[in-house]
Structure formats: structure tokens, C-alpha cells
Amino acid sequence: MDKSEKLVLLVFLVILVSACCLLVACGGMALLLSSVSGFLSPTADTVTFADGTPTPGSPSSVIQPSPMATKLSSEDFERIYHTLSTLENTFIPSADLIYLAERFEGKKGIPRQLTTPPVAYEVGDRLDFYKINTDTNVSSVTTAVLRYASDTLYFWVEEGVKIDQKELQKTLDVFESKIYPTNQEFFGTEWIPGVDNDPRLYILYAGDLGYSLAGYNASSDGVLPLAYKNSNAHEMFYINSDVQTLSDPYTLSVMAHEFQHLIHGYHDPNEELWINEGFSELATLLNGYSAGGFDYLFSYDTDVQLNDWSTESGKNDVHYGASFLYVTYLLDRFGEEITKEVVADQLDGFTSIDHVLAKNGLTDPDTGKIINADDFFVDWTIANLMNDTWFDDGRYAYRIYASAPTASITETLTSCAGKQLDRTVKQYVTDYIELDCPGEEISLQFSGSPTVPVLPISSGENHFMWSNRADGSVTRLGREFDLTGVSAPITLRYETWYDLEVDYDYVYLLASIDGENWQIISTPSCSRKNVSGNNYGCGYNGYSGGWIEQEIDLSAYAGKKVTLSFEYVTDEAVTAEGFLLDNIQLDALNYQADFESDDGGWLPEGFVNIENLIPQSFLVTILDTSGKSKIQKYALDAGDEISVTLPPLSSGQTYVVIVSGSARFTRQEASYRIDLR
């Protein structure tokens, strides 16, 4: 389910000696919601389900990093780089709700859009809509009244919600004349005429959407209810009447934010959430509205992984700030056309930035080499600290967002000689270590752990199958078993570990005897709870609590050939760590697979056979805040070290060492050491 929402939070920022209270709203989760009354169709229940409930909560998201390791052998290096190469070269298929309805529910011939003329609604008409409460994840039906209609949009107000018609007219005049064309010019157009064959945008103003929610966009509204029964089947977004009044200027900011999600979801449905949210916050800036204040929260604590998003929405305030500043600096640095190319690029996250920068031949002013996403990230970390056009060649500043906050120093040393710093850092997080030691010549050595786990598990050197993790995707692992000469009982055994977004992302075990018609098999730990509408039957969900053993009765397939498929379906926002599979046994065929030497005959689509270690790379920058010394930038591969001598500085001048992990395929921390002499 796509949970692209804006949150309303009360944030207290202490600036100098005065306390400033900001009411902010911020971009957020995505809801793969659903449906409009009148388009509902009966759905055949073709599978039987076992009882089961997901384990709530999640594991510790980060395991304790290994201490500074000794040098790796050539064999170890080969293994960790093999795992990295596997992850880099694996294609992850997008989730298509029509395809999923055909595969999981046996439906055929579902149209992508209506071909009949759209209904011409008039002010005063009533219509039923699905909505979701993001606190409980429960979907429900509400009735709304059409209070505004134009050639551009319909604005529906939930029955019982009071509005001022003049305020509504004023708000929508601004939206239609300013926000609508601005977003379309920069980010592209939504699907027109869309799933409902109607060029109009639908906006629902309703309550009971969540305690701190300002608005959301539901990607599942982009299909007919035949494909997703809770779909409203319109290009639309939602505004929370409980927290956003029509007279509040921030309501227009929310509308700009959600409209970008709607547009982006049409052009690139499985874009990584972190950058999608950044673009939605950029939409508010382009329309002249506040970014919400979360950029200030990020400036006070830069210990947040840029290319990640928490499954707990209350922890995402700083993520909004980071992603907003990142894409704003992208626009500042490379201009409108390059930024638009990144928005439109079908690759995702950092990979899309790599692609666009390389395609346009953009080079680093110092080295003359093609710049990549890591190079740009380094420059962004400098801009967050300095943010001044006088510094160096002027690139390290926000020009279009002059009020951008300056990042806080992580720690300061006032005596450098003989100090040893043993620290940890997450990936694409920034540690700013200030060396305020005037008059001292500093000998600095940097070293870091050469490896980092992919996942928060202890697996040693063992291989396993991993579902991968990506927004708006479906990954599969399938294999045929010939049971034609086998009689019951037939038992499939395997071990699994999983951490899946509660109520939204599910893993299913499917079986087919013809390769076309599939049945969901009940497993001991699957759940049929379906408050959000995302569960197709009985799927794994939540957290397994560690590695668990599963036994599945396949006796119904005795005497037949059967294809089994593990399938991981995610919505368009927020993914946890995913689904792991190991030690599969089918005793009736004397079959077992531990994935150590090969894939055991299984065919992965997005799943990967990996070990749990990849190379840990670092991005290290050393700068003199006076700007008199040349900035030193280092992109360190696994096991690389730095040894430099820094000349003495005068009183009032300092060095800052900027450290970031740069392993793209993990959320785990890395250890590093700085020796000062």
C-alpha cells in the first residue's frame, strides 16, 4: 500500500536563546488504498486460509557493528565483492496491481481504465469513498458531498464536515491557478484522462485519517476495483479535515506535496520513497510554501540515513528534512533541466542520479572526472556545513533556499595530539568532527571496518536467499517439483527470518500445477488479517522474532508436477528488511538446498542468493573552515586508509573531518577510527 502522506507535528526548535514553536506538516508514508462506490465487483474466494497473526514490532534495526577488523584475505575480498555485484546487478520487478489480481485471485481481462464517458457530477452530488486511518491501518467507507466542480477538479467534503464556501473557493483558486500548473510543468502530468476516463483531479476532504496526518495519496486508486477492491478509481489525494483547515496556508502546501506524489506515482511507481518525499517537499518550495521545519531538525542531528525511511512514521521527521535539502541542493547545483531528468528517470534513488549525471557528462570542477551520486553527496555534506557562496569556488551553498539551516558539529576536540576516536556511522549519514587545535600540526590517520552486514542477523559465512527490499515491487523465488511418482504424506520444510511492514507488505507461498492458475498455500506462521486491504490471502507479515522453522503439507499435490513460488509484495512506501529463506527440504524427493554452492534449482526474480557481508566503503572529507586550504576528499574502498598531515591553523580557524559510510545496500552501521598525533 502506498502511504504518501503529510504529517502534522508540533516541533520545538531552540534557536540561540529563544524557543520557537513551529507547527509543521511533512511528507510521508504511502497508502495503497482503495475504492469508489459503484465500481465494486464480487471477488471469488479461491483459496483456503490458515489462522495466524503477524508478530508485532520489529527487530533492532541495527546490530552492533564489528570492532575494527584485521586485514581481509583475498578470498574474503572476493566473496564480499561477489555479494555486492549480485545486489548491484539484480533487477527488481515493479508491482502491478492488475497482474497481482490475476495471479492471486484468478481474475482475467481486467481493463486498465474505463472507456465509458465519465460521470458529470454536479455540486451537491454524493459519492462513497474508501479512506484509511493511518494510526490503525483500518480502511473504511465514507460518504462525501461535492462542494466544488471545475474542468480541472472535483472537491469532495465528507458528510458532517463544515466548511466556509468562500474559503474553499479561495483555496482552490490558488491551487488551480498556481500549484496545479507549477507541479505539472516541473514534475510532469498525472495520468490524464486516467483510470476513470475523466481528466478531472479528485480531492477528498475528510476526517479520521490519523492523529497527525495532514494528507495522503493512494496509489491503488489508479486501478479499477476489479484489480484492487478498495480502489476509489480516480486520480486523487486526501486532506485531513481534523487537522487542516481551508484557511490555513499550510493546506496549500499539503496539496502541492500530495499532488507531486500523484504525478510521480504515474511516471515511476517504484521510486525509492526517500527521494520521492524529497521531491514532494521541493514542490512546496517551488510553490512558495514552507518546507515544514524538518530541515532544521535535520540540521541539529545529521545522524539519519539519507536513503532510508523508518517503518515508524514518528521517527521520520529528520528524514523529511534530509531528503528535502538533498533534492533542493540538486536543483541549486545542476539546475532545473537536470533535476527534471532525475525526476523522470526510470531508475531509482542514487542509481538514477548516477545515470543522469553520467548521461549529461557532468564533471567535478576539481578533478575533471564525471561526477556520481557519491561525489554529489560529499558536496552536499559540505554545503550543509558551510552554506556560503564565499567558501571555496561557491558551489557549497543554497541559493534558491537562502534560509537553509547550517548543520551542527557532531563533536569538537580542543586538544588533538594523542587522541584516538573510535566511532560508528551509518550509511549516508554525516559525522562532523571539528578539530579546534590552533597552532598544532596534526597527523591524522583514518581507518574503517572493511565489511558491513547487509541485514541485522548473525549468519556468519552462510548463504541464504533474500527477497531484497524495494518499494512498490514484487520479487519471486520459484521451482518445479516432480511428485508424479510420490504418494502422501509429502512435507516441505524450510527456515525463514522476516521483517515485513505490518499490515502492508506480505510474503506468500503459492503453488500451481499448470503455471497459470495459482493457489496460496497456508503456512504455520502466515496471517489472514487484512485491515488495510493489502493481504491477498494468508501471508507472512510483521516480524518473525528470529529464524523459525516451517512445515508445509504438500500431500494434495501427490502424483503431480507442482511449481512452488515464494512471492514478496510491497506497497509503494516503506519497506522493512524483507524475507530470508534457508535449508529447504523435501524428504519425499530426497531434496535439500542450503544455497551454499548453488540456487538449488530455484529461479529467482528479484530474490538473491547472498552471504550477509558486503564491502564497507567510506566518504571522508577534510576541510579548513577558513577556506584557505584546499578541500581534501577521499572515496575509500573496503580496507583503504588515509594518512595526512594538516598544517597548524591560527586561532579561530578549525579543521572539520566529515565522515559518512557509503555502502548502498545496507542500513547497518560501520566502525571507524581516527588517530591524531
Residues 141 and 286 in one domain: yes
pLDDT band at 212 (very low <50, low <70, confident <90, very high): confident
Residue 92, pLDDT > 70, answer yes
Give me the pLDDT at residue 27, please. 35
Return all residues near 104 (Cβ < 8 A) that are at least 6 apart: 508, 510, 518, 520, 536, 537
pTM score? 0.90
The CA R_g of the chain, rounded to the nearest whole Å, is: 26
Peptide bond connecting 193 to the previous residue in cis, omega within 30 degrees of 0: yes
Residues 138 and 277 in one domain: yes
Give me the pLDDT at residue 311, please. 84
Domain-ending residue, one of 564, 593, 610 = 610
In a domain, 248, yes or no: yes
Return all residues near 652 (Cβ < 8 A) that are at least 6 apart: 438
For range 486-493, the mean pLDDT: 97
In a domain, 669, yes or no: yes
Chain-centre distance of CA 324, in angstroms?
A: 14
Nearest CA to 464 among 600, 636, 280, 286? 600
What percent of the chain lies above the pLDDT cut of 90? 85
In a domain, 368, yes or no: no
Residues 550 and 441 in one domain: no
In a domain, 66, yes or no: no
Residue 42, pLDDT > 80, answer no
Residues 598 and 663 in one domain: no
Return all residues near 321 (Cβ < 8 A) that are at least 6 apart: 291, 293, 294, 295, 296, 297, 298, 299
Give me the pLDDT at residue 71, please. 79
In a domain, 82, yes or no: yes
- List the CATH number of the domain containing 548: 2.60.120
Residues 290 and 143 in one domain: yes
Residue 439, pLDDT > 60, answer yes
Residues 451 and 580 in one domain: no
In a domain, 67, yes or no: no
More confident: 52 or 119? 119
Give me the pLDDT at residue 53, please. 39
Residues 583 and 636 in one domain: no
What DSSP character marks residue 287? T
Residue 11, pLDDT > 60, answer no
What domain count does the chain have? 3
In a domain, 143, yes or no: yes
Return all residues near 334 (Cβ < 8 A) that are at least 6 apart: 357, 362
Residues 246 and 259 in one domain: yes
More confident: 1 or 105? 105
Give me the pLDDT at residue 69, please. 53
pLDDT band at 10 (very low <50, low <70, confident <90, very high): very low
Report pLDDT digits (tens) over 52-69. Answer: 334 445 555 666 665 555
Q: What is the grid cell recorded at 240?
A: 485531513
Residues 156 and 287 in one domain: yes
Q: What is the DSSP string of 301-315?
A: ---S-TT---SSGGG
For range 413-438, the mean pLDDT: 97
Residue 202, pLDDT > 80, answer yes
Q: What is the grid cell recorded at 542?
A: 510483521
Beta bridge partners of residue 12, listed in sequence order? 21
Give me the pLDDT at residue 51, please. 36
Report pLDDT digits (tens) over 270-304. Answer: 999 999 999 999 999 999 998 778 999 999 999 99
Residue numbers of the domain that contains 243 = 4-39+120-298
Domain-ending residue, one of 264, 283, 298 = 298
Cβ 539 vs Cβ 100: under 8 Å: no
- Cα separation, 325 vs 625, whole angstroms: 21
In a domain, 357, yes or no: no
pLDDT band at 7 (very low <50, low <70, confident <90, very high): low
Report pLDDT digits (tens) over 238-258. Answer: 999 999 999 999 999 999 999
Residues 136 and 253 in one domain: yes
Residues 472 and 495 in one domain: yes
pLDDT band at 21 (very low <50, low <70, confident <90, very high): very low
Residue 12, pLDDT > 50, answer no
pLDDT band at 373 (very low <50, low <70, confident <90, very high): very high
- List the CATH number of the domain containing 621: 2.60.120.380
Residues 177 and 257 in one domain: yes
Residue 562, pLDDT > 50, answer yes
Domain-ending residue, one of 298, 313, 347 = 298
Residue 31, pLDDT > 50, answer no
Report pLDDT digits (tens) over 62-89. Answer: 666 655 555 789 999 999 999 999 999 9
Report pLDDT digits (tens) over 503-518. Answer: 999 999 999 999 999 9
